[in-house]
Amino acid sequence: MILPDSVQDIKSRQLSASSVSSAASCWRGVKRALPIVLGYVPIGFAYGVLAGKSGLSEANTLLMSLIVFAGSAQFIAVGLFAGGTGPAAVILTTFVVNLRHMLMAASLAPYLSGWKKRYLAFFSYELTDETFALHSAAAGKLNECRLEALSLNLTAQVSWVLGTALGIIASGLIGDIKPLGLDYALAAMFIGLLVGQCESPVRVITAILSGIIATLLYLAGWHQFHIIVATIAGATLGLGVELWIRR
């Protein structure tokens, strides 16, 4: 009589312990996402305002934050829509600007060995420059911290959508976004992320080379492909420098 009871007891204790620890994991993910949230709300807001000013409907503006969820591409697309660019060019530009996610996904994937396919599908859906930066800084523990990683991602996207919604509401109230400096939100965020990435001299050199190449290509009239070409060239040259130093 005693045995089943104690087994029951242990089981229920294990159950509550595991639900407490999964709640704790989710909460850790939310907390780790907070710096992103503080960046995404104003940037999402700026996007919402700009999209409204560029003639996108409220539903389409929100939809883009829900299903595309790629900050720089969304800003670029809004600019193209405003300029009357056709669907094919907008989609191609988005593809090129977001192709960098492929490199990010490839660099995180080796750390996701124990994950089921549906979790991988959900995780990669919310892979952005910002979530990637946080995940790659702690890539070694991704395998055992699945819930934390997913809740970090979800928190980031919720804040992006929230910022967008606030921007849509404010779009009618704000005459011009420039006095608020909202058009600088994306650049400022890239500065913060870039500094976080520059932890070794090789990385600093890579960033400088890539920045110079991108600027030269941009000046030469490459207004979208400059990002992916400069990324590949910069990383390759940086690798050359790294191998040369190691010799």
Binding to other proteins (CB under 8 A) within 145-184 occurs at: 178-184
Q: Are 22 and 50 in contact (CB under 8 A)?
A: no
Measure the CA–CA gap between 200 and 207, rounded to whole angstroms. Answer: 11
Phi-psi map region of 181: left, alpha, beta (phi>0 left; psi -120 to 50 alpha): left
Measure the CA–CA gap between 63 and 48, rounded to whole angstroms. Answer: 11
* Residues 211-230 contacting other proteins, CB under 8 A: 211-215, 218-219, 226-228, 230
In whole angstroms, how close is the CB of 4 to other proteins at the nearest point? 40
Q: Is 32 in the site for other proteins (CB under 8 A)?
A: no
Task: Output 147 or 237, the one with its CB closest to other proteins.
Answer: 237
Phi and psi, residue 55, nearest 5°: 90, 10
Q: Are 196 and 133 in contact (CB under 8 A)?
A: yes
Residue 87 to residues 58, 151, 156, Cα–Cα distance (Å): 19, 33, 28
Q: Which amino acid is at 64?
A: M
Task: Output 25 or 234, the one with its CB closest to other proteins.
Answer: 234
Task: Output 120 or 169, the one with its CB closest to other proteins.
Answer: 120
The binding track of 180-209 with respect to other proteins, each residue x by CB under 8 A or -, is xxxxxxxxxxxxxxxxxxx---xxx-xxxx
Task: Output 25 or 228, the one with its CB closest to other proteins.
Answer: 228
In whole angstroms, how close is the CB of 179 to other proteins at the nearest point? 6
* Residues 38-77 contacting other proteins, CB under 8 A: 38-39, 42-43, 55-57, 59-60, 63-64, 67-70, 72-73, 77
In whole angstroms, how close is the CB of 138 to other proteins at the nearest point? 14
- Which of 32, 52, 115, 151 binds other proteins (CB under 8 A)? It is 115
Measure the CA–CA gap between 103 and 143, rounded to whole angstroms. Answer: 19
Measure the CA–CA gap between 26 and 148, rounded to whole angstroms. Answer: 5
* Residues 76-95 contacting other proteins, CB under 8 A: 77, 81, 84, 87, 90-92, 94-95
Task: Output 169 or 241, the one with its CB closest to other proteins.
Answer: 241
Residue 184 to residues 126, 178, 181, 231, Cα–Cα distance (Å): 23, 9, 6, 22
Measure the CA–CA gap between 29 and 21, rounded to whole angstroms. Answer: 12
In whole angstroms, how close is the CB of 13 to other proteins at the nearest point? 33
Size of the site for other proteins (CB under 8 A): 105
Measure the CA–CA gap between 203 and 194, rounded to whole angstroms. Answer: 10
